[in-house]
Chains A and B, each alone.
Chain A
Amino acid sequence: MLAENPIHIANAEASDARSEAHLQLTHLEKRYGDFLAVEDLSVSVRRGELIALLGPSGCGKTTTLRMIAGLASATSGAIRVDGREIQTLPAHARDMGLVFQSYALFPHMTVERNVAFGLEMRRNSKDQIAGRVAKALELVQLGHLAQRRPRELSGGQQQRVALARALVIEPSILLLDEPLSNLDAKLRDQMRVEIRDIQQRLGITTVFVTHDQVEALSMCDRIAVMDKGRLAQIGTPQDIYERPATPFVAEFVGRINKLPGRGTSANEITVGDRRFGTAGKGAANGAVTAMIRPHRIEIVPRGTPADNRNAAEGVITRATYVGDILEYMVALEGGVTLAVETATGGHRRNFALGDEVELRWAHEDTLVFGADA
């Protein structure tokens, strides 16, 4: 998916130069009593950009979305659309489509009437409404259930109605609060493509809340990772995945091994008595935590000629077959155990429990953070 659309990433960077901020949050803060749900959040979303708001449960994603939509007031900070402050604008005048985490479908209306609601508010003609509603329902594959009530639908079907209801009004800004959380893997993939497609076609600026990193990485132009109400990092999927700014981000966007060590120079650390080259930016002479993604480590038989990668000898203590990958746990001498993932496939050499092996990984795959991580 990442490799699939290098063009729009290039586009995104080009428009960055023009820096055309459609939706801009500056020092946004939301306080519930003593509790800071969102703190000093500054994000600038370009016109037509799909940005993910990624973070663990309770980190303030929904709260942020509600402030943008005008359903909750910010304690301080500013929200601008096209440079204009919109805090005083009521929700109904903001022209934003919102998919609620809890769907919020009108229980007293049929699916069709639910989807038509926004168009009726915009005083479209009856024929036009009927046509657009039918198209929107087709898009989410629910045309056949148009006359049902929401309570007669499954959770995933309700979620798709909510999506259709927000999409059909073709808002200038689309806010999606985990719109695919209740769908099965296949449908979710289809919906991702659909959302991305409509979003690109209509150039709708979109904020996509999710706690699924795969979703964020695969669909979005940029990702804003939130942690306890604060912005931990914002950047392209590659930035976030390859160059996480904090250990929190590194751990949140995928599995990762942690190795306690000491920094010896900007691009070298020691773990026990082993020396490893790193991605750089390491702090010399301090306790550090090195992080390596399991699938970036290669397992080779002992005695394989050395290359310019990091190497460590170990013994396989566990091997788990998970379909498309094999998960190994490899104990290094000195008590550290690393997880390693390799793709499965006939041509690959599989290792067995107790095999003595050697691990190899590139210097730039060794991320280094301060030890307080």
Chain B
Amino acid sequence: MTATDTAPAAAPFRLSGRQIVPLLIMPILIVNAVSFIWPTLSLLRMSLNEPIAGGAIRETLTLQTYVSVMTDSFYLELVWNSVYLCSIITAFTLLLSYPIALFIHRADPKWKSLLTLMVISPLLVSAVVRTYGWVIILGDQGLINALLLGSGLVDQPVRLIFNNFGVMVGLVEILMPYMILSLMAGFGRLDPRLEEAAQSLGAKRLTTLYRVTIPLTAPGIALGCLLVFVLSISSFVTPKLLGGGRVFLLATEIYDQSIVLLNWPLAASLSMLVLVIFGAALVVYSRVVKALD
């Protein structure tokens, strides 16, 4: 026993902790470099090229596309619309997800995994399919309008899709699992004893919720909001299908510019703009997290 234990020199390779850490993070660094950094850099390069009518591109280094985006009120409104709509979507997603996450967190351990499974099961179905589901529900001949017309409440179908409302409904539903999971991950600090302590000190349920429960779960709330905001800004299929070409958002515009109009430099510079928005969201997030601590 001692003979083998005291002979580490026999091992041909021995790595210290210092050496092993870079080795362990190497794979993710490579993946990141190949799948994120390199495409981002080529997008940046593309955004500096000059588009020529008809879809051709002239290789050059110009800020012309950026200048035209920044001075065109259509694009400024587009950015504002996207941020605004996605903020509202984030808020609604949070509002609808919080009670569910809290319920699952407090559920009997027997049911907890089943409930969690139910929350993430929609993710097994592609967002495209789920979006079409919403088309069926919200469309002029859809479920809701059939009910409204049938009950005589309205005599014209109510416009529920191909507008901001439809996009919001679809995105909120699609993004809820992400929000619920983030919230649940952040519920670790939520010791039930703390809520009991608040109650024993005279706090009613609602007071306990906003004085103790919500502040304690704020890190999870911040994380969920960041995630949902970023996902909604970059989501494309749902706004495209439920917006029906009438809701203009950054992601759909990027698609149109690159695939339909073949204006790659413009699409690339809009993509860089999205990246800036992500960066801003991250800054806000880390400010919030720091303030919470």
Contacts and interface: CB of A to CB of B under 8 A. Distances in A.
A108 B197 contact: no
B199 A91 contact: yes
A90 B194 contact: no
B199 A106 contact: no
A292 interface: no
B156 interface: no
Interface string B185-210: 00001010110111111111001000
B195 to A, nearest CB: 9
B214 to A, nearest CB: 10
B196 A92 contact: no
Query: Which among A69, A94, A102, A104 has the greatest number of chain B C-beta atoms within 10 A?
Result: A104
B196 A91 contact: yes
A337 B168 CA distance: 83
B291 to A, nearest CB: 11
Contacts of B198: 106, 117
A104 B189 contact: no
Interface residues of B, number: 20
A106 B196 contact: no
A92 B202 contact: yes
Main SS at interface, chain B:
helix
B215 interface: yes
A169 B202 contact: yes
A91 B193 contact: no
A104 B204 contact: no
A153 B201 CA distance: 22
Interface residues of A, number: 25
Interface in B190-247: 191, 193-194, 196-204, 207, 211-212, 215-216, 218
Nearest to B203: A121
B199 A117 contact: no
A106 B207 contact: no
B189 A107 contact: yes
A100 B207 contact: no
Contact of B200 (A98, A105, A107, A122): A98
Contacts of A169: 201-202
Contacts of A118: 201-202
A70 B197 CA distance: 11
Contact of A104 (B194, B211, B292): B194
A106 B212 contact: yes
Nearest to B211: A117
B203 A104 contact: no
B200 A92 contact: yes
Contacts of B218: 108
A365 B203 CA distance: 52
B201 A107 contact: no
B212 A92 contact: no
A97 interface: yes
A123 B218 CA distance: 26
B216 A107 contact: yes
Nearest to B214: A108
B193 A122 contact: no
B201 A71 contact: no
Contact of A90 (B193, B199, B207, B292): B199
B216 A91 contact: no
Contacts of A90: 199, 204
B196 A104 contact: yes
Interface in B79-101: none
B52 to A, nearest CB: 58
B75 to A, nearest CB: 42
B90 to A, nearest CB: 23
Nearest to B194: A104
B203 A92 contact: yes
Contacts of B211: 117
A121 B189 CA distance: 23
B217 to A, nearest CB: 10
Query: Which among A70, A93, A105, A118 has the greatest number of chain B C-beta atoms within 10 A?
Result: A118
Query: Which among B189, B199, B203, B212 has the greatest number of chain A C-beta atoms within 10 A?
Result: B199
Q: Which 10 A-B pairs have the closest CB atoms?
A: A121-B202, A118-B201, A104-B197, A91-B199, A104-B193, A98-B200, A108-B215, A92-B199, A71-B196, A92-B202
Interface of B: 189, 191, 193-194, 196-204, 207, 211-212, 215-216, 218, 292
